[in-house]
Amino acid sequence: MQLATRVIMSKITEKILLKEFKMELKGKDFITLFDFNNKEINNLIDIAIKLKQDTKEGKTHYELKDKTLAMIFAKPSLRTRVSFEVGIRQLGGHAVVLKQDEIILGERETISDTARVLSRYVNGIMIRTFAHQDVIELAKNSDIPVINALTDSYHPCQVLADLLTIKEKFGSFDNLKLTYIGDGNNMANSLIAGCMLTGIDLCIATPVDYEPDTNVIWKGKDASIATKAKIEVINDPAEAVKGANIVYTDVWASMGQEKEAQKRKKIFKNFQINKTLMNKAAEDAIVLHCLPAHRGEEITKDIMDKYADTIFEQAENRLHAQKAVMVSIM
């Protein structure tokens, strides 16, 4: 066989291999993990593992050949921007980045008109914005799949990558406890969905009045009926971290809350991942952080250094997890 023919054959084989994992998610939006069941999330993670392995071995997948992803950013980003753009490129497609100052989403024209126009140019829309409702509105009016790349309420792409990291480290989601320390924000909400759907017990410790939305906790409880995962929300980080296999944190002031940063530093000062806290976790515990990290605030420098390999693997996994989402829905 000529080298060129062998290369083509290997690409075709890879495409067939990937099909084995696939569910019928084509055309579906990726807005929260609650929109997927346990089997679908596990499948997405298995596709991500396969794509990661193949990428490392130099095997290519052109499943999204000539497809275009519009990427709307109303907030800053490093990981999301680069991993989506590189990810679609690795799958044979390409991205068009639209910054908020260019399109002025929801002001220059209605979100519905934006959705209808983009549906005629591109094959998928990724959006990072403030109001979760705007993403729902965009998806409702689009003929193409919409991916939520962070809203004030949810960050499902991050948690899919986190679940991939957890599976790589522990081999499965069985008998694990994840403790989240910090603000009951978009990360906490998405971790509720991700943990309850995969069967990871979750304990969240926040300051009083910074707990996750009660509606999200109830959605989590509903999702946990199938997996029997436990969820607990308390205000004591030392108690929360006891026996945890995964200790997770996020910034105290999220994008859009910059004016509250000083006030929050005082309120959250006891909600820091440090050596004393980690001593109460399980012996094999890992630390995860969605990044960006603020050393000396939600996490100490020594803990960041100690768990850097896992935390930066977690950041890398954004690429593989999002490729799995794109090949499945676009």
Q: Does 290 bind ligand NVA (CB under 6 A)?
A: yes
Q: What is the widest separation between alpha-carbon atoms in the chain?
A: 68
Q: Which residues of 221-237 are buried (b: 16+ CB within 10 A; e: fewer)?
A: eebbeebebebebebeb
Taking 3-state DSSP, the helix, strand and coil percentages for the chain, each rounded to the nearest 5, stand at 50, 15, 35
Site map (CB under 6 A) of ligand CP, residues 239-278, x = contact: ----------------------------------------
For the record, the structure tokens of 10 come out as 């290997």
Nearer to ligand CP, 18 or 70 (CB): 70
Q: Which of 79, 155, 264, 289 is catalytic?
A: 155
CA 265 – CA 280 distance, rounded (Å)? 23
For the record, the structure tokens of 60 come out as 């290519």
Among 290, 303, 324, 326, binds ligand CP (CB under 6 A): 290
Q: Is 128 a catalytic residue?
A: yes
Nearer to ligand CP, 43 or 317 (CB): 317
Q: Which does 250 bind (CB under 5 to 8 A by kind): ligand CP, ligand NVA, none?
A: ligand NVA
Q: Is 71 helix (H, G, I), strand (E, B) or coil?
A: strand
Q: Does 249 bind ligand NVA (CB under 6 A)?
A: no
Nearer to ligand NVA, 97 or 261 (CB): 261
Q: Does 314 bind ligand NVA (CB under 6 A)?
A: no
Judging by DSSP bridges, how do beta strands 68-73 and 246-249 pair with one another? unpaired
Q: Where are the beta strands (DSSP E) in 184-285?
A: 201-205, 231-234, 246-249
**Amino acid, single-letter form, for residue 44:** L
The total number of residues written for the chain in this structure? 330
CB of 188 to ligand NVA, least distance (A): 9
Q: Is 94 a catalytic residue?
A: no
Q: Which residue has the tokens 């140019």?
A: 121
Q: Does 310 bind ligand CP (CB under 6 A)?
A: no
Q: Which residue stretch of 209-217, 218-226, 246-254, 304-312 sits at the interface with ligand NVA (rule: CB under 6 A)? A: 246-254
The residues assigned a catalytic role are 128, 155, 158, 250, 290, 318
**Binding residues vs ligand CP (CB under 6 A):** 77-80, 150, 158, 290-291
